[in-house]
Amino acid sequence: MCKKVFDPELYNAKQTPLDHVKVFISKKLPELGWGQTQKKEIVMDVGCGPGKNTIQLILPLFPQAEKIFAIDFLPNMIEFARIHNCHPHIEYNVANIENWSMIEQWKGQISKLISIHCIHWLKDKRRGLQNIFQLLKPGGEVAFCFLMSSPIFPVTLKLESDPKWSKFFKDVDNMVPDTYINKHESSRYIKMMEDIGFDILYCEEGEKADPYSSDKEYRDFFASLCALGSHVPSDQREEFIDEGFQEMLKLNGRDSSGQPVHRANITQVVARKRDIQNSKSF
């Protein structure tokens, strides 16, 4: 199985973070006390991608942060982030949250941990959440925003099974997460977190709509997230991406001004690390 291949430049193409992400980080988290302390916090961004959310949203939320460790398991994302979204308080590292040996250096050090659109990609979500638990200080908190369903998943599956394209995808990981394939409900992951030792402070699930300023921007968004695209021969790739983009438009439509809109079912969770003496063992 191949690793997912996301293009950091396309992934970073939208000049501002997604609307629902901005509201979650810049409004909801401060309401829950995030960024309201004068303490020198140690913050982590898990699945930081090209670093746009890290520098535009997470850094302003924590003006007193001693350090923000931003990790992603894709080296090309971290390389892009170090060049284009660098800051003295942000340290970008290649690391997989499911691999304890890659992150154990931060055990018990993190006071706040944010993960935006990463948790649903994990192959072993329980292991990833257990590792996150171990990274936190006692009383440390996490904030997750992850997809339960998105039009990109059925579009990817449709393209993968299309006879015109399927010959290019033998033994290829389509990167459609099990949250969608198995129709899991968010309650499954809330219970998983509680079993590990988290107290849930906030949880919301529902459709979020994010507008795009142009067809090109939305098309680039699809191209950045469809892992199959890199396996299509270069002379046919534009046709492949265009077909996927048209399918996305069919499912999502446009807003009243005619601009494309992306709609997805998103779960947002904020939780605190419970006293480990009261937590179930791993």
pLDDT tops 60 at residue 278: no
Q: Which two tokens stand for residue 83?
A: 């060049």
pLDDT tops 90 at residue 34: yes
d(CA 53, CA 223): 19
Q: Are 177 and 153 in contact (CB under 8 A)?
A: yes
Q: Which two tokens stand for residue 258?
A: 């005619």
Predicted TM-score of the model (pTM): 0.89
Please report the pLDDT score of residue 5 as a whole number. 54
pLDDT tops 70 at residue 277: no
Q: What is the mean pLDDT of residues 90-110?
A: 97
Please report the pLDDT score of residue 168 as a whole number. 93
Q: What is the mean pLDDT of residues 44-59?
A: 96
Confidence of residue 280 (pLDDT cuts 50, 70, 90): very low
Confidence of residue 2 (pLDDT cuts 50, 70, 90): very low
Please report the pLDDT score of residue 226 as a whole number. 87
Q: How many CA atoms lie within 13 A of 27 on its CB side?
A: 7
pLDDT tops 70 at residue 137: yes
Please report the pLDDT score of residue 234 as a whole number. 93
State the average pLDDT for the chain: 90
Q: What is the pLDDT of residues 205-216, one digit of tens each?
A: 999 999 998 999
Q: What is the mean pLDDT of residues 69-81?
A: 95
d(CA 227, CA 196): 31
Please report the pLDDT score of residue 225 as a whole number. 84
Comparison of pLDDT for 172 and 88, the residue scoring more: 88
Q: What is the mean pLDDT of residues 234-247?
A: 96
Q: What is the mean pLDDT of residues 84-109?
A: 97
> In a 10 Å sphere around its CB, with 0-12 CB exposed, 13-18 middle and 19+ buried, how is residue 77 labelled?
buried
- 212 SS3 class: coil
Please report the pLDDT score of residue 18 as a whole number. 85
pLDDT tops 70 at residue 166: yes
The pairing of beta strand 136-149 with beta strand 110-116: parallel
Q: What is the mean pLDDT of residues 12-29?
A: 83
Q: What is the mean pLDDT of residues 148-167?
A: 94
Q: What is the mean pLDDT of residues 108-131?
A: 95
For tokens 């968010």, name the residue.
186
Please report the pLDDT score of residue 171 as a whole number. 82
Please report the pLDDT score of residue 3 as a whole number. 43
pLDDT tops 80 at residue 231: yes
Q: What percent of the chain has pLDDT over 90?
A: 74
Give 3-state DSSP helix, strand, coil % of the chain, rounded to 5: 45, 25, 30
Q: How many CA atoms lie within 13 A of 173 on its CB side?
A: 12
pLDDT tops 80 at residue 1: no
d(CA 193, CA 213): 37
